[in-house]
């Protein structure tokens, strides 16, 4: 905790004791000064996952918990994130929490934060910077591992036969760590399996609307009755758009027809999975607030936090899901 806040918190404690024993002091509790000010740069609200991620942060970084949260929604534009970081530097916040929309383009603004001696904590996706000292820690997911879990399931569901495995790949926001990791896992598997055929890679930008649009256009150009075995969607909102486009074009979605794979496994996707429309849901845990707070408390205690913190994630298929399991989930 920095000097300014420790002096003030001592004075605050003193004034509270005086107030408790009825002695009037002229010290208005400077509670505001005692709060840890966190400038948060969120990507946007493009997906159910993102909404749950923001919710998790707002639940943790409250005044009761000792924080003043300054929350910026970049509406999925990196330039908005960069100006928000600059604004937080001017405001001299105590910490900057950044959910970087894409990996590139961060070196200079993170250098400015470093010169202002404001620790930056990366959440969810990563940045590709020359100097790892430009951020204090990263809290997020191992996206290649998520992709590897999906590939493993396809290998089991579509055993190697002379029959090709025809895959349509719907990618997330291009250049985001989640897209890069999930894409790498699939592309490596396609290179490894002669019978796997990548029919097309489409940019769904992690949204339902974009996926519906690009897949509808792609399907309209296919020969009638073209077989599709797997649609690999890099998040739930893409899966919802894909199911809509597939069904409108005469394709059935299910484990014995078009196998739709999704990432995030938010409640709505698990419901589709239980109904059999989504064949596999790979969990991507958005509830990162508590882990970010632990990093801040580590730094407040004068210690150096571990650089990378990964959340535990699993997969779901229809057979494992019931209404109550889904209702119990936090997102
Ligand atoms: C993954 C996160 C991705 C989600 C999408 O951790 O970056 O961004 O998978 C979200 O739903 O839009
Ligand atoms: Zn994840």
Tokens representing 137 are: 């820690």
Angle, CA 87 vertex, CA 85 and CA 91 arms, to 5°: 115
pLDDT of residue 312: 87
How far is the C-alpha of 144 from the C-alpha of 150, rounded, in Å? 10
Q: How confident is the model at residue 167 (pLDDT cuts 50, 70, 90)?
A: very high
The chain-wide mean pLDDT, for the chain, equals 92
Q: Look at 260 and 21; give whichever has higher pLDDT.
A: 260
Q: What is the side-by-side order of every strand in the sheet holding 280-283?
A: 196-203, 165-171, 230-233, 259-264, 280-283, 315-316
How far is the C-alpha of 271 from the C-alpha of 322, rounded, in Å? 9
Instruction: Give the mean pLDDT of 104-113.
Output: 98
Q: Which atom of ligand 1 is nearest to the CA of 206?
A: 12
Instruction: Give the mean pLDDT of 57-79.
Output: 97
How far is the C-alpha of 166 from the C-alpha of 179, rounded, in Å? 20
Q: Look at 20 and 217; give whichever has higher pLDDT.
A: 217
pLDDT, tens digit, 9 for 90 and up, residues 206-251? 999 999 999 999 999 999 889 999 999 999 999 999 999 999 999 9
pLDDT of residue 300: 98
Q: By CB neighbour count within 10 A (0-12 exposed, 13-18 middle, 19+ buried), where does 103 fall? A: middle
Q: Is 219 helix (H, G, I), strand (E, B) or coil?
A: helix
| Mutation pick for ligand 1 pocket among 56, 123, 284, 288 (CB with most ligand atoms within 8 Å) | 284
49 touches ligand 1 (CB under 6 Å) = yes
Q: How confident is the model at residue 301 (pLDDT cuts 50, 70, 90)?
A: very high
Q: Which atom of ligand 1 is nearest to the CA of 263?
A: 9
First to last CA, the chain: 33
| Spacing, Cα 144 to ligand 2 middle (Å) | 9
CA 44 distance to own-chain centroid: 11
Q: How confident is the model at residue 162 (pLDDT cuts 50, 70, 90)?
A: confident
264 touches ligand 1 (CB under 6 Å) = yes
Phi-psi sector, 235: left (phi>0), alpha (psi -120 to 50), beta: beta
**What percentage of the chain reaches a pLDDT higher than 90?**
86
Q: Look at 71 and 1; give whichever has higher pLDDT.
A: 71
pLDDT of residue 27: 40
Contacts of 300 (CB under 8 A, 6+ apart): 1, 36
**What percentage of the chain reaches a pLDDT higher than 70?**
90
Q: Look at 28 and 146; give whichever has higher pLDDT.
A: 146
141 touches ligand 1 (CB under 6 Å) = yes
- Among protein residues, the one with the nearest Cα to ligand 1's atom 6 is 124
40 has a pLDDT exceeding 90: yes
How far is the C-alpha of 126 from the C-alpha of 118, rounded, in Å? 18
124 touches ligand 1 (CB under 6 Å) = yes
55 has a pLDDT exceeding 60: yes
Q: Which atom of ligand 1 is nearest to the CA of 264?
A: 9
| Spacing, Cα 49 to ligand 1 middle (Å) | 6
């Amino acid at each position: 905790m920095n000097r300014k806040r420790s002096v003030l918190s001592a004075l605050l404690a003193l004034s509270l004791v005086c107030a408790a024993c009825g002695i009037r002091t002229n010290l208005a509790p400077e509670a505001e000064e005692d709060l840890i000010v966190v400038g948060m740069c969120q990507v946007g609200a493009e997906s159910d996952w993102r909404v749950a991620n923001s919710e998790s942060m707002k639940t943790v970084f409250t005044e009761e918990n000792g924080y003043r949260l300054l929350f910026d929604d970049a509406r999925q534009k990196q330039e908005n994130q960069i100006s928000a970081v600059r604004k937080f530097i001017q405001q001299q916040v105590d910490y900057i929490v950044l959910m970087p929309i894409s990996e590139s383009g961060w070196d200079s603004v993170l250098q400015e934060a470093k010169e202002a001696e404001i620790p930056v904590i990366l959440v969810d996706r990563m940045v590709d910077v020359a100097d790892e000292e430009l951020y204090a820690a990263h809290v997020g997911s191992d996206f290649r591992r998520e992709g590897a879990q999906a590939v493993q399931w396809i290998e089991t569901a579509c055993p190697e036969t002379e029959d090709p495995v025809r895959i349509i790949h719907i990618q997330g926001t291009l250049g985001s760590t989640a897209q890069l990791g999930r894409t790498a896992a699939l592309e490596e598997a396609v290179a490894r399996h002669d019978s796997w055929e990548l029919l097309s890679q489409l940019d769904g930008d992690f949204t339902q609307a974009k996926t519906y649009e690009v897949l509808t256009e792609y399907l309209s150009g296919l020969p009638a009755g073209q077989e599709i075995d797997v649609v690999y969607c890099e998040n739930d909102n893409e899966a919802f758009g894909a199911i809509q486009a597939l069904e409108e074009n005469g394709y059935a979605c299910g484990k014995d027809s078009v196998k739709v794979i999704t990432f995030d496994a938010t409640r709505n996707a698990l419901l589709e999975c239980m109904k059999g429309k989504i064949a596999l849901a790979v969990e991507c845990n958005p509830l990162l607030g508590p882990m970010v707070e632990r990093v801040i408390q580590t730094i407040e205690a004068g210690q150096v936090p571990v650089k990378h913190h990964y959340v535990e994630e699993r997969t779901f298929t229809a057979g494992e899901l019931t209404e109550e399991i889904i209702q119990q989930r936090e997102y």
